[in-house]
Amino acid sequence: MGAPVPPDSVLVLAGGLSHERDVSLRSGRRVSEALRGTGVEVVERDVDAGLLPALRADRPLCVVPMLHGETGEDGAIREILELLDIPYVGATPAASRAAFDKPVAKTVVTRAGLRTPESVCLPHETFRELGAADVMAALVERLGLPLMVKPARSGSALGCSVVHTAEQLPGAMVHAFAYGAVALLERFVSGTEVALPVIDDGSGPRALPAVAIKPDGGLYDYTARYTAGSTEFEVPAPLSPELSAEVARGAVAAHEALGLRDLSRSDLIIDADGAVWFLEVNVAPGFTETSTVPLSIHAAGLDLGDVVASLVGAAVSRHQDRDRHRDEERHA
């Protein structure tokens, strides 16, 4: 990492300072190898003080941001790429910001007609100002037990807990607040968890097969995500044709409602009555050996490298179209 970027090469950004640094490095490595397999010249690079000078000195053809968690998915790195006018794969800064903020994303997708678990979103200060015990009692009354506590902005299930008894709630809140100043509490939905990517290489967003997630220990937490063999996946998820179509429609609707581009992954739970609940959408989903997006791409009969190469192609031509449009406006 840190090597000069040859012209016409793709720069895969991975690492960063978020809690998901290790996951990002693994995603970055996998995507880089897959892209190289298609004949594309690829450079992998971390995010550090040398990045901006390097991007100015050797402009890549395109950047693939494989940065998870804050700064990767909250739009910050994309703002920098916009400032430098470098093409990149994925959502704009504004769309990334909205998608990364779970309460905001829930509001947007609800307006688009999706169902998302009832929730309450509270900052740390409210507990201090109003007295934690009273606030927590009201939360349990509203959402019932078990309930789900998560940081409003985070990833890889870090800071997330299932709360089974009122006594467990204070600890779960402290855990969530360790990852951010705002917590999202949700009604717990039990059922089958599925994740599915939406890909748009220029011909419109389309959903790839849903992956059913069955963690051995019942919880899809950080360990269940990144320890090989600790979660069983089934792809395509064993769903009726109607439910398959509904989750596909839901993922595309979330992608469109949030104004996302190129690639996203929606996480959903299907309850015992067959109702589909939207949890969240990721703008830089994981591509590690145990991640769901590569499984879905494979199940669709596609090659990972070809898919990423086509997204790079779409991002480069979008950028060229924008330049052309700006030139025309200047000369009009």
Ligand X SMILES: Nc1ncnc2c1ncn2[C@@H]1O[C@H](COP(=O)(O)OP(=O)(O)OP(=O)(O)O)[C@@H](O)[C@H]1O
- Asked if 229 is an active-site residue, the reply is no
148 binds, among Mg ion, ligand X, none (CB under 5 to 8 A by kind): ligand X
All residues at 6 or more sequence positions from 82 whose CB lies less than 8 Å from its CB, including other chains:
92, 93
Q: What is the DSSP letter of 62?
A: E
User: Under the criterion CB under 5 A, does residue 201 sit at the interface with Mg ion?
Assistant: no
Contact residue for ligand X among 156, 244, 288, 291 (CB under 6 A): 156
Catalytic residue, candidates 267, 291, 296, 310: 267
Cβ 325 to ligand X shortest distance, Å: 34
Contact residue for ligand X among 9, 27, 154, 192 (CB under 6 A): 154
Burial of 76 per CB tally in 10 Å (0-12, 13-18, 19+):
middle
* The one segment of 149-157, 170-178, 202-210, 254-262 that binds ligand X by CB under 6 A: 149-157
Site string for ligand X, 72-91 (x = CB under 6 A): --------------------
All residues at 6 or more sequence positions from 20 whose CB lies less than 8 Å from its CB, including other chains:
68, 69, 72, 155, 156, 158
- Asked if 226 is an active-site residue, the reply is yes
Catalytic residue, candidates 88, 179, 220, 226: 226
C-alpha dist (Å) from residue 108 to 181, 246, 253, 269, 324? 21, 18, 10, 18, 32
User: Under the criterion CB under 5 A, does residue 101 sit at the interface with Mg ion?
Assistant: no
Closer to ligand X by CB, 9 or 288: give it: 288
| Exposure b/e, 298-318, CB count within 10 A at least 16 = b | ebbeeebbebbbbbbbbbbeb
Cβ 157 to Mg ion shortest distance, Å: 7
Cβ 227 to ligand X shortest distance, Å: 14
- Asked if 20 is an active-site residue, the reply is yes
User: Under the criterion CB under 5 A, does residue 267 sit at the interface with Mg ion?
Assistant: yes
Catalytic residue, candidates 16, 20, 154, 200: 20
Closest residue to Mg ion, based on beta-carbon distance: 267
Q: Which long-range contacts (CB under 8 A, 24 or more apart) does 51-59 make?
A: 51/13, 52/80, 52/84, 54/2, 54/4, 54/5, 55/5, 55/11, 55/84, 55/86, 56/84, 57/4, 58/4, 58/5, 58/6, 58/7, 59/5, 59/7, 59/84, 59/86
Cβ 222 to ligand X shortest distance, Å: 8
Catalytic residue, candidates 27, 96, 266, 282: 282
User: Under the criterion CB under 6 A, does residue 65 sit at the interface with ligand X?
Assistant: no
Cβ 162 to ligand X shortest distance, Å: 7
Catalytic residue, candidates 265, 266, 296, 305: 265
Asked if residues 278 and 270 have their Cβ atoms less than 8 Å apart, the reply is no
Q: What is the DSSP letter of 165?
A: S
- Asked if 265 is an active-site residue, the reply is yes
Binding interface with Mg ion (CB under 5 A): 267
* Active site (catalytic) residues: 20, 156, 226, 265, 267, 280, 282, 286
